[in-house]
Amino acid sequence: MKPEKLMQRAHEAAKNAYAPYSKFRVGAALEMGSGRIICGANVENRSYGLSNCAERTAIFTAIAMGERDIRAIAVAGPDSQEPLPPCGGCRQVISEFCGSETPLYYSDGNGAYLSSTVGEIYPANSLMDLARRANSV
């Protein structure tokens, strides 16, 4: 799928965000190896620590549906003035399920987006990558 189409799905997902406290909506879309697109939105709670980011919502939904092969991730922040990359917690979860080459796209509220890979935003990406590095020393 073209990055623009995946980003469009992430923007659509942001419309479903539950963000009554921050008023900051975020959507995520995952392109799966099966061809399926799985989306998620941020869900806030008045106890902020119990809130969930869009990326984790999408990934947890994919796992619950039996999908594991994430081919690309798009994150849309329609209320953001800057392109919105995943937070540290989301980067950790992403690293559990994606290889370092997995494309990642993130956008602002004006439609501009940046692209990178999971490895570029999380250099010591996954347990598999760490094991591979340890065995090559």
The CATH topology of domain 3-135 is Cytidine Deaminase; domain 2 (3.40.140)
Give me the catalytic one of 12, 55, 96, 101: 55
Domain ranges of the chain: 3-135
Ramachandran class of 111: left when φ > 0, alpha when ψ lies in -120 to 50, beta otherwise: left
Check residue 33 and give its pLDDT: 97
118 burial via Cβ count (<10 Å: 0-12, 13-18, 19+): buried
Cα separation, 133 vs 125, in Å, equals: 11
Coil, strand or helix: which one is 12? helix
The answer to whether residue 55 is catalytic is yes
Tokens of 129: 């990558």
> Alpha-carbon distance 21 to 44, whole Å?
7
Which of the two residues, 23 and 109, has the higher pLDDT score? 23
**Residue 129 pLDDT:** 63
Query: What is the average pLDDT across 36-48?
Result: 96
Give CA 31 to chain center in angstroms: 10
